[in-house]
């Protein structure tokens, strides 16, 4: 074919040769850079495997990103190799004046051009991903100051800001709803004041003129009408929130509900600061719990002797709620009765009752204002004989027959239980969405035990249902005695490995397969006593052994304090901060914060021990 002059008077044949030579050089350079990139990724992967401190989730993210880079570099290497071959074809085609070789080069070059454009786009995206990863990794140690650890945290260390946490909070409240209930405003405002007060009391802050740079927080609540947690009906999204501090030092918090805003308050005042208590870098936090049911079970009957005229100091319950709020636990399971005592007054029951109805109602309200739902438990079947036995008109079994149990053959006994439960539901615990009726360690006594026990529990369940509530029972009578309760209104808390079950998890699976929602109260390892270790509590995964199809029916779990030999002052020092370990597992997910970190645990220990009870200046939100 004829080769006419090209640009600048250069013959087309010479021009093609020049292009071919330039492409050969470029292809060789790209080929070498791709090979070097693959080698670098290999070295980086080896270093990551040898490094410590990364959690499983981050490690998975790193592996995924490295795989993307390897694939992209491999494609580039392949394309550069093809380009090198085509460049040689072009050079030989131009030199020998072969039309077909020139056309082949032309069409394949067009295809490669498209590939290179795609590669450019991928590179740009990867740069952004890489920058985001750098932000997360730079937040690693700093973000670990937040307990429980949020699901997603990024700190932009490329920008510097200066926000003093020592200043008073100025909340700018907004809602997507037409109205913002005054109670919700009160709850949120009080939560931020408590969190700020605790921050200031524990962290010495230098003097600062807050008028120059006030702590303005823009808070948007999607649904401010949602003001209490009902774990039997709610989803984790109702406690979700997002905190954004931008490079302009503006603070924005988005909360799904009023309760979510309370959770955000305690995260905000744990954001890492410099020694002068200033937030130094823009930060973004997105968070929500893994489980909706995150409980602490507290026994106020057996830990000290109610029968001897003593009582568990009620101030301890307020202190418990204060600390639960800090670590984002949301259920206080209050074990009110047992063999040795009844912890509240009941109409027409002549027993020593350490807590008045008014005192109990105040504890329940205090919990609600702090985002904590009180779940009262009265052991209906077992663990009741000593107390109920004092009632001359209420028959109970003798200890040598069926110890500490009601006589279900007696209409008087069943009527007493029914009236007691109605009283609890309609007069005392009106603001509690779940009531527990015990059902643990019950001996199958009576002429028609299975029939009578099933009928009684279902009757109590119906009373609860009529009041818009549900009931919680231990797993004993269902798994070992075959009792069948209405699963639509009954939550089950297995607390041990049951007879006929190969391990704790098999009991959970059996309950779910029978239609029940389950909460994990596993005594091993989530019962706290003198021999309990924080590492053991933290390392337990409540979903271990649970079938994937059953996971959705596990609402969460609880840490329990039953130890009867503990003195009053030991409750705080032993129960806290160990419960914080369980709280993080239930909020962040098992081992999401990495394996047990003693230094981090010591920090939350110090923080929790110094949390002052705010009951002295308690504000009731109405």
C-alpha neighbours within 13 Å on the C-beta side of residue 439: 32
Contact 231/331 with Cβ under 8 angstroms?
Answer: yes
Contact 553/590 with Cβ under 8 angstroms?
Answer: no
In sequence order, what are the residues at sequence separation of 6 or more whose Cβ sits closer than 8 angstroms to the Cβ of residue 208? Answer: 164, 166, 167
- Kindly state the helix (H) or strand (E) to which residue 17 belongs, with its residue range: helix 12-50
Give the angle 103-107-109 at the CA atoms, nearest 5°: 110
- How far apart are alpha carbons 88 and 93 in whole angstroms? 8
Active site residue 319: no
Q: How, if at all, do strands 283-287 and 293-299 pair?
A: unpaired
Contact 190/619 with Cβ under 8 angstroms?
Answer: yes
Q: How, if at all, do strands 341-342 and 554-561 pair?
A: unpaired
C-alpha neighbours within 13 Å on the C-beta side of residue 317: 30
Q: Tokens standing for 75?
A: 């494609």
State how far the alpha carbon of 165 is from the alpha carbons of 256, 274, 365, 525, in Å.
24, 10, 29, 38
- How far apart are alpha carbons 58 and 483 in whole angstroms? 45
Q: Tokens standing for 371?
A: 């985002």
Instruction: Please report the sign of the dihedral spanned by the C-alpha atoms of residue 49, residue 51, residue 53, residue 57.
Output: negative
In sequence order, what are the residues at sequence separation of 6 or more whose Cβ sits closer than 8 angstroms to the Cβ of residue 145? Answer: 270, 271, 272, 600, 603
Q: Which of 59, 359, 441, 480 is catalytic?
A: 441
**Helices 12-50 & 56-96, crossing angle to 10 degrees?**
160
- How far apart are alpha carbons 391 and 351 in whole angstroms? 8
Contact 5/12 with Cβ under 8 angstroms?
Answer: yes
Residues belonging to the chain: 622
Q: Tokens standing for 524?
A: 């091993």
**Helices 357-369 & 182-202, crossing angle to 10 degrees?**
80
- How far apart are alpha carbons 298 and 439 in whole angstroms? 17
Q: How far is CA 313 from the centre of its chain?
A: 30
Closest C-alpha among 194, 198, 251, 263 to residue 226: 263
Looking at the annotation, which residues are catalytic? 441
């Amino acid at each position: 074919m004829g080769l006419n002059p090209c640009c600048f008077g250069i013959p087309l044949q010479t021009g093609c040769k020049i292009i071919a030579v330039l492409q050969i050089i470029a292809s060789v350079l790209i080929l070498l850079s791709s090979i070097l990139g693959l080698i670098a990724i290999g070295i980086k992967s080896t270093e990551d495997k040898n490094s410590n401190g990364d959690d499983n989730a981050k490690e998975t993210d790193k592996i995924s990103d490295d795989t993307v880079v390897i694939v992209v570099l491999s494609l580039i290497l392949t394309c550069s190799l093809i380009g090198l071959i085509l460049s040689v074809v072009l050079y030989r085609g131009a030199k020998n004046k072969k039309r077909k070789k020139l056309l082949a080069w032309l069409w394949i070059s067009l295809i490669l051009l498209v590939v290179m454009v795609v590669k450019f786009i991928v590179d740009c995206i990867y740069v952004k991903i890489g920058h985001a990863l750098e932000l997360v990794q730079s937040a690693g140690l700093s973000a670990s100051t937040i307990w429980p650890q949020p699901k997603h945290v990024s700190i932009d260390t490329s920008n510097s800001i200066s926000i003093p946490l020592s200043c008073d909070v100025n909340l700018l409240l907004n809602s997507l709803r037409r109205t913002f209930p005054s109670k919700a405003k009160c709850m949120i405002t009080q939560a931020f004041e408590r969190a700020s007060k605790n921050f200031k009391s524990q962290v010495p802050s230098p003097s600062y003129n807050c008028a120059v740079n006030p702590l303005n927080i823009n808070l948007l609540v999607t649904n401010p009408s949602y003001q209490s947690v009902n774990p039997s009906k709610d989803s984790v999204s109702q406690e979700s929130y997002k905190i954004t501090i931008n490079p302009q030092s503006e603070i924005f918090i988005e909360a799904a509900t009023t309760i979510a805003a309370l959770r955000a308050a305690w995260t905000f005042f744990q954001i890492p600061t410099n020694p002068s208590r200033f937030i130094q870098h823009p930060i973004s936090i997105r968070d929500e719990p893994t489980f909706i049911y995150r409980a602490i079970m507290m026994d106020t009957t057996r830990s000290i002797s109610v029968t001897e005229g003593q009582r568990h100091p009620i101030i301890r319950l307020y202190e418990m709620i204060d600390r639960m709020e800090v670590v984002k636990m949301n259920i206080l399971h209050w074990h009110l009765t047992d063999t040795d005592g009844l912890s509240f007054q009941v109409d027409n029951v002549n027993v020593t009752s350490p807590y008045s109805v008014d005192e109990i109602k105040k504890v329940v309200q205090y919990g609600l204002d702090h985002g904590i739902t009180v779940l009262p438990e009265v052991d209906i079947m077992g663990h009741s004989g000593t107390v109920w036995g004092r009632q001359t008109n209420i028959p109970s079994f003798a200890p040598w027959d069926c110890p500490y149990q009601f006589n279900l053959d007696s209409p008087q006994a069943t009527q007493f239980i029914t009236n007691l439960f109605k009283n609890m539901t309609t007069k005392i615990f009106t603001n509690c969405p779940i009531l527990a009726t015990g059902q643990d360690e019950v001996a199958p006594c009576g002429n028609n035990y299975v029939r009578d026990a099933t009928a009684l529990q279902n009757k109590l369940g119906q009373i609860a249902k009529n009041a818009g509530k549900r009931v919680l029972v231990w797993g004993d009578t269902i798994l070992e005695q075959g009792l069948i309760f209405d699963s639509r209104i009954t939550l089950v808390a297995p607390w041990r490995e049951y007879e006929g079950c190969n391990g704790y998890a098999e009991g959970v699976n059996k309950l779910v397969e029978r239609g029940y929602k389950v909460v994990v109260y596993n005594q091993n390892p989530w019962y706290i006593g003198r021999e309990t270790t924080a590492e053991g509590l933290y390392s337990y995964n409540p979903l271990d052994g649970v079938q994937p199809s059953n996971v959705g029916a596990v609402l969460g779990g609880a840490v329990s304090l039953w130890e009867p030999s503990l003195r009053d002052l030991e409750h705080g020092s032993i129960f806290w901060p160990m419960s914080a370990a369980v709280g993080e597992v239930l909020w962040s997910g098992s081992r999401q914060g990495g394996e047990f970190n003693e230094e981090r645990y010591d920090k939350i220990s110090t923080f929790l021990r110094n949390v002052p009870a705010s009951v002295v200046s308690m504000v009731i939100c109405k």
